[in-house]
Structure 1
Amino acid sequence: MKRIISAANLSTALTFLLVVLAFGFGYRSYSQAERRVVSDLNQALRRTVLQNEDLWLNADTVRTYAKLQEVMGAPVSVSSSNRKFAAALYLPKLRDVSTLSLHILKKDDPGTVFNEIPAGYLASDTLIWLSTTADASGLTLSFRGYARCSTTLIFSISKQTIPALLLLAALIWGTFSFFYFHYRKPAAQGNGQESIITFGNLSLSLREACFYNEHRERLKLTPMQYALMEMFYLSSSHLLPKPDICQSLWPGKDNADETLYTLIRRLKPIVEANSNLKIITDRGRAYGLAIATPLPTL
């Protein structure tokens, strides 16, 4: 029985380990996918800004930026999907959810640019371009790329093959272990020992983990009382040394003599009132069961 319990615990530990590994590898793959998205946004931003410098940074456009800054009297932000930025992305799934943002601000402006990333988005690093044209001296342009990334999208980009296999292995092993030990335990009890043990006119049902009197009425016992009675019944002599009882029922307790005495004292009247058995003492060194009156001879 102890070997079966130990094997069941080991199987549970293995299942738990597989689940932990699955989630660990899954989280690692998810984080790597987020970094891939940010890296793709960075390269796409650099390519878009640098390759289209004539569009973003020609004199007319810069003067327009400066005029907007003057009219608004505060940093100006423009954010929109950009066809060229989307085309520069290597990850196809990001192209429909990408956005390019431009902030226009003056040199040494105390305001913080791109200090927060909207919820549900991943962002590139900030690319800053300082204009030195005469019409917009000190004008600063800040570019950043965004991608609206749901958890599902990140999972679809990440490599979850290993986590999925580990989780599947945990599910298969856990299911197999559950059914194996669920049916193995009763079988082990039936093969290793009788499912019904009778002594006197009191019977122990190992399958149901209870005692019955001769009228098939179940005895009302506390868990500790049942455990002690089961020990008596499983012993071929129905006699147990005190140290063995204490070690089994209260492992690790230095001195359980008084606790055992109290348990015996409360169990005695129950046994004697419901059977022809009695609890005996062997000079204070052992306790056991004996038949108090002879069984009738047929």
Structure 2
Amino acid sequence: MKNLPYIVFSFLMLCALCTSISSYHRTEYMIAQDVNQALKQVLVKMPDNVVTTDTIRCYRSCLTIAELKDTAGIAMRTVRKDGRWETKMVAEANCNFATTFMMSDQKASGSLLFIGILWLLGSLWYVRKNKPELIVQGLAYGGIVFHDDKFMTVSGEEIRLTPMQHSLLEMFITTDSHTLSKQEICDQLWPKKPDASDTLYTLIKRIKPIIETHSTLKIESDRGKSYSLKLK
């Protein structure tokens, strides 16, 4: 499967992203748990419901996560409870995204990211290493390689053609000038047909988009007398 390297890379990147997000949310939960337990201890030791310097100092000493000791604080918030408003202490970690991310364990996601990058680089190297061999072995022109009676792109993807399309493209590729007269094509492809003009027109019409999709080539007509396979 030519898309297998990209599928594996995408899967590894998705796993790395999911692992990273999971670790981040787990760290957020741990931070919330830590500041809340520290606040509970403060309320037991200082039940006056007043925030002072000593309250903050006591609060931070109860924190178990070292990174929070310089940022965490206590705020007074007015909340509605049982139909009436009241003021209560609320623990705040004061951590932005970057701080929380740095605190989270990203080793697993980092490893997956590293493996994914190595896989992608290895796959690209393999493709580049084998591409010249394909070109050397076959007859190449404008991004199309004719090798072992098959037409392929330089990346090794086979170009699907009908037998008649295959014969026509082979004539274009193997001719030095890549130009064929209308009569030459008709004599080669339909030797027993008196007038194959309409058949040739239909064949050219149908093969044009195939060639343009898989290469940097196009078919040009010279007043209906001849056809040329040229670079775009």
TMscore range, shorter length: 0.5 to 0.7
Deviations 1:52-74 (A, max 9, x none): 22xx16xxx7xxxxxxxxxxxxx
- Which of 22, 30, 51 aligns to 2:24? It is 30
Q: Which amino acid is 2:30 matched to?
A: R
- Give the superposition deviation at 1:276: 9.4
Q: Does 2:203 align with 1:209?
A: no
TM-score scaled by length of structure 1? 0.49
Cα pair distance change 1:180/1:94, threshold 3 Å: same
Unaligned runs of 5+ in 1: 1-5, 62-77, 112-139, 197-205, 211-226, 237-246, 251-256, 288-298
Equivalence for 1:50? 44
| CA distance in structure 2 between the aligned counterparts of 1:189 and 1:105, rounded to whole angstroms | 74
- Which of 26, 51, 72 aligns to 1:98? It is 72
Asked if the contact 1:79–1:101 (Cα under 8 Å) also holds between the matched residues in 2, the reply is: no
| CA distance in structure 2 between the aligned counterparts of 1:95 and 1:39, rounded to whole angstroms | 14
Equivalence for 1:166? 112
| CA distance in structure 2 between the aligned counterparts of 1:169 and 1:207, rounded to whole angstroms | 37
Instruction: Report the 3-state secondary structure (helix = DSSP H, G, I; strand = E; otherwise coil) of the residue aligned with 2:105.
Output: coil
RMSD: 4.0
| CA distance in structure 2 between the aligned counterparts of 1:175 and 1:99, rounded to whole angstroms | 47
For residues 258-277 of structure 1, the aligned pairs below 5 Å read 270-272=179-181
Asked if the contact 2:27–2:104 (Cα under 8 Å) also holds between the matched residues in 1, the reply is: yes
Cα pair distance change 1:105/1:27, threshold 3 Å: closer
Cα pair distance change 1:101/1:234, threshold 3 Å: same
Deviations 1:242-266 (A, max 9, x none): xxxxx9248xxxxxx9xx7xx99xx
| CA distance in structure 1 between the aligned counterparts of 2:111 and 2:44, rounded to whole angstroms | 43
- Which of 5, 27, 34 aligns to 1:11? It is 5
Unaligned runs of 5+ in 2: 151-158, 173-178, 194-199, 201-232
Asked if the contact 1:33–1:154 (Cα under 8 Å) also holds between the matched residues in 2, the reply is: yes
- Give the superposition deviation at 1:51: 2.1
Equivalence for 2:88? 142
- Give the superposition deviation at 1:143: 1.5
- Give the superposition deviation at 1:141: 4.5
Instruction: Report the 3-state secondary structure (helix = DSSP H, G, I; strand = E; otherwise coil) of the residue aligned with 2:64.
Output: coil
TM-score scaled by length of structure 2? 0.61
Percent identity at matched positions? Answer: 19
Instruction: Report the 3-state secondary structure (helix = DSSP H, G, I; strand = E; otherwise coil) of the residue aligned with 1:101.
Output: strand
Instruction: Report the 3-state secondary structure (helix = DSSP H, G, I; strand = E; otherwise coil) of the residue aligned with 2:31.
Output: helix
Cα pair distance change 1:282/1:83, threshold 3 Å: farther
For residues 40-119 of structure 1, the aligned pairs below 5 Å read 40-53=34-47, 56=48, 82-103=56-77, 110-111=84-85
Asked if the contact 1:89–1:95 (Cα under 8 Å) also holds between the matched residues in 2, the reply is: yes
Q: Which amino acid is 2:15 matched to?
A: L
| CA distance in structure 1 between the aligned counterparts of 2:187 and 2:59, rounded to whole angstroms | 91
